[in-house]
Each structure stands twice: as structure tokens, then as C-alpha cells.
Amino acid sequence: MNKTIIGIVIGVLILGGLIWIARPDEQSNNAVSASSSGSITVEEANNYDFGSISMAAGKVKHQFKIKNTSTEMVTISKMYTSCMCTTATLMAGGKLSRPMGMPGHSAIPSINQIINPNEEATVEVIFDPAAHGPAGVGKIQRTVTLENNTGKPIELQFAAVVNP
């Protein structure tokens, strides 16, 4: 009985070691996240105010326009929101990302969307004022973060006053 348990433990350790050795080298897989001197700017204010909105009226949305104002490609690696009540999609280079939400409840996948020099992209933000139920009334402020290879994340913020 003890020999069987010891054999299983040794087998698990050997298998774990083989998986550890065979894992991809993170440095070679992160080439897309290498530093860039590119620059992304928000073409309007990066802080939008929906004003007074009704929880009963449903979701509201706003599109932020961003632009690569440099001569180098910029890669948006990840995009996420500050709250589960908010989702965001990125439209760049004719490609639409899937809706991204708040980290913590699931992994935020890499989107690795390239924005070429002088190219514009759109981040559509959708806010659901009913997501927090009756406790969600009053002034709110949320953020959408775009991680990129310039070394400076882009933060797009919006605010609203939620009424029942």
C-alpha cells in the first residue's frame, strides 16, 4: 500500500516536471508586448458624462475615438472595465473585439489588436444602470483601461447620475 502511494507521488512529480519544462518561454511569447515609443491619444475628452439617466430606460452607450498619433504600430494587449455593470468593445483595423468586462471573475483575454500609425479606432462602452439593482442609484464613475505596448495604459472614464 505504501509503495503504491509513493509510486503515485513520484509519477505526479515527474509528470509535473515534464509539464514545467515543456511550458512555453514567456519572453519569446511576449514579443507583441515589447515596448514601443508609439502614442495613442483620445480624440475627445477621455471623460464622458452621460448626465442623468434612468435605470428603467436600460443600457446606455458611448463611443470613444482613439488614434495612434505616432509613426510606430501600437498594440492594445488587453482591455477591461472597472465594474461588472460595464462592457467595452474595440473596433480597429476592421476587427471587432468581443465584449470585455471586469477582471476578477474570469481571466481577461489578450486581444493583441494592432493600431497602425495614424489609424483611428473606436472603443464602445456600454453601461447597464440596472446591474446593481435599487442600490445602484446616484452618481457613478467607471473606467475602461486599455493596456498597450507604449508603457502607458489608456484610461477612458465616464460618469452618470442614475435615477430609478
Following DSSP, what letter does each residue of 11-37 receive, concatenated? HHHHHHHHHHHHSPPHHHHTGGG----
Tell me, what's the pLDDT at 30?
34
Top-confidence residue, 148 or 2? 148
pLDDT at 17: 55
pTM: 0.75
* Helix (H) and strand (E) counts in the chain: 2, 10
- The average confidence (pLDDT) of the chain is 85
Phi, psi (5° rounding) for residue 85? -80, -5
CA nearest neighbour of 31 among 123, 114, 120: 114
Mean of the pLDDT values across residues 82-87? 96
Asked whether residue 12 carries a pLDDT value surpassing 80, the answer given is no
Beta carbons within 10 angstroms of residue 104's beta carbon: 9
pLDDT digits (tens, 9 = 90+) for 129-154: 999 999 999 999 999 999 999 989 99
Tell me the mean pLDDT in the region 23-35: 39
122, burial (CB in 10 Å: exposed 0-12, middle 13-18, buried 19+): middle
Domains of the chain: 34-163 (2.60.40.10)
Q: What is the pLDDT of residue 21?
A: 61
One-letter amino acid for residue 84 of the chain: M
Q: What is the mean pLDDT of residues 101-118?
A: 88
Q: How confident is the model at residue 6 (pLDDT cuts 50, 70, 90)?
A: confident
pLDDT confidence tier of residue 43, bands split at 50, 70 and 90: confident
| pLDDT (0 to 100) of residue 10 | 72
DSSP state string for 101-133? --TTSS------EEE-TT-EEEEEEEE-TTTTG
pLDDT(29) > 80: no
